[in-house]
Amino acid sequence: MAFSHTGVLFLLLLSFLLLLLGNPASSDAPPSAPVDPSTACNSTLDPKFCKTVLPRRGSDNLYDYGRFSLAKSLSNAGRFLNLVNRYLAGRSTLSSTAILALQDCQLLSSLNIDFLTSAGATLNYTDNLLDPQVEKVQTLLSALLTNQQTCSDGLQATASAWSVKNGLSVPISNSTKLYGISLALFKKAWIPKKKYKRNGGRVPSRVLPHGRSLLFHEVNVGRNGELPLRMSAPKRGLFERWSGRRLLQATDTVQVDDIVLVSQDGSGNFTTISDAVNSAPSDLDGSTGYYLIYVAAGVYQEYVVISKHKKYLMMIGDGINQTVITGNHNVVDGWTTFNSSTFAVVGQGFVGINMTFQNTAGPAKHQAVAVRNGADLSTFYSCSFEGYQDTLYTHSMRQFYGECDIYGTVDYIFGNAAVVFQSCNVYSRLPLQGQTNTITAQGRTDPNQNTGTSMQDCNFLAAADLAADNGSTITYLGRPWKLYSRTVIMQSFMDSLIDPAGWLPWNGDFALDTLYYAEYNNSGPGAGVANRVTWPGYHVIGSSDAANFTVSSFILGDNWLPQAGVPYDGGLL
């Protein structure tokens, strides 16, 4: 029997419609439609493991499966923390390095319990989330995997902790897979295929004559000028007397709840930064403003931790190279990379301005972190980060760095945060003889994580010691630390220190087809893309793709950066 061309098309279309109607578990079915566990698991990276997690009987919807896996993840996180605590209870048989690695796992596991509790409280409330809620939950679930990977990395680097590694390897692996299932199911159920449209324009704020949209006058922050803070008259007077800066009278840009002074000469409230941090009230929600710590000029040799309960702290110094926090912890001397930081931030909403952070261990000591940042909605503006290997650890959560200087050699901007660097100077230094400089080492381990490193309007330059080396050191933009490493560099200047290949493999062909490295509209002698790597994961992108990695889109900065009062551009320049 013969059919016309139109008849054949009609039958194919009818068959397709019947297939969809008869299969509510299809990929186009709404998240509220009942599906069997096997179908739900197909959206995860490990469907076989997922089927052992979800209920074997019944047909819940994707929302229910997501909540179920989240509850399982929370229970698992509690058990894992108890296991770590048991190992620490027997610390008399462990080396100091093994104890430090376990203490890292202890902190990270505690944070995972907090993140899962927060995510569960949000998802149990409604099926319909607003855009900022979606972004927050995806950030929390992404950080679960990062924390677990950091725990694992610290233990693997500890040669003397063989028994601990052996005992925790399976629990770590199972936890990672379980957290990955929770993230995948959340993304499948709560994040639409066509992700919500975000504002790609500039932040609405005061427009200065030169046309850039600013909240701080850029000539003032760190450059002996005014700071737009709102506070009571007595506090305003104290700040002006201490800092020598006049406050803008007609602005309410930044709200400050309280203010204390750190000064080494004893003229302030505290002589150490740590004491000032400890004085801050716990668990501020930001609604009454920041707890402002003004740190007078001086070199502060101390290790500062902004704990998870010290939220919405604002720390302002007297300027780069004026207010300096310095330390020298490093891996060679027995510290873990995670715990080698001079300055560590966990508390949400931290803002740091006009300061220098150093790790002076030097290149021979290998991993030595100046700042480790795992604080959500955190900001550094007009700051300098100085080290060699692993200078700035953008560990997790959402972060912004504006008009900062970063110095280092090997993997010196690394981690797995969702982070944007804007208008920063990136200085590669002279490494050990025979070493190669790699600027970034981004650590995304799961394609469902919303993490990555975006660098916009930055300058990639040689520090003085490298410039004097006459080009014997090769410098690359980055290498893939983890399987789904993601780094985008756009609208930036690259000097001649950048190798024509641009990017360096980590180990053989590891991650070359799963990473996402992209460049857009860069300039300078090192910016040519004609001789760049030809990996499947490397891209030269256009403006529409680049817009996804702007402040407004990638970290939803318009929702939280204005509170910090720092200048930024929301979209492409």
| Catalytic sites, residue numbers | 411
Chain-centroid distance, C-alpha 480: 16
CA distance 338 to 195: 34
Q: Which of 439, 425, 429, 430 is nearest to 383 (CA)?
A: 425
Burial of 167 (0-12, 13-18, 19+ CB in 10 A): middle
Q: How many residues does the chain have?
A: 573
Do 340 and 329 contact (CB within 8 A), yes or no? yes
CA distance 90 to 100: 13
Sequence-distant (6+) residues with CB within 8 A of 423 are 402, 403, 456, 457, 458
* Geometric angle at alpha carbon 77, from 72 and 79, rounded to 5°: 95
The structure tokens listed for 161 are 């902790």
H-helix or E-strand spanning residue 378: strand 378-381
Chain-centroid distance, C-alpha 502: 23
DSSP string, 123-190: HTT-S---HHHHHHHHHHHHHHHHHHHHHHHHHHT-TT-HHHHHHHHHHHHHHHHHHHHHHHHHHHHH
Element counts in the chain: helices (H) and strands (E): 13, 27
For 521, phi and psi rounded to 5 degrees?
55, 45
| DSSP single-letter state for residue 246 | P
- Taking CA atoms, 154 is separated from 101, 102, 365, in Å, by 5, 8, 17
The secondary structure of the chain in percent helix, strand, coil, rounded to multiples of 5, reads 30, 20, 45
Q: Which of 120, 136, 5, 11 is nearest to 63 (CA)?
A: 120
Could you tell me the end-to-end alpha-carbon distance of the chain, in angstroms, rounded to an integer? 63
* Geometric angle at alpha carbon 313, from 309 and 314, rounded to 5°: 165
Strand partners, 326: 301, 358
Amino acid at the residue 269: N
386: three-class secondary structure by DSSP: strand
Do 308 and 274 contact (CB within 8 A), yes or no? no
CA distance 563 to 561: 5
CA distance 67 to 242: 51
Cα torsion 337, 293, 355, 444 to 10°: value is 40
Amino acid at the residue 299: V
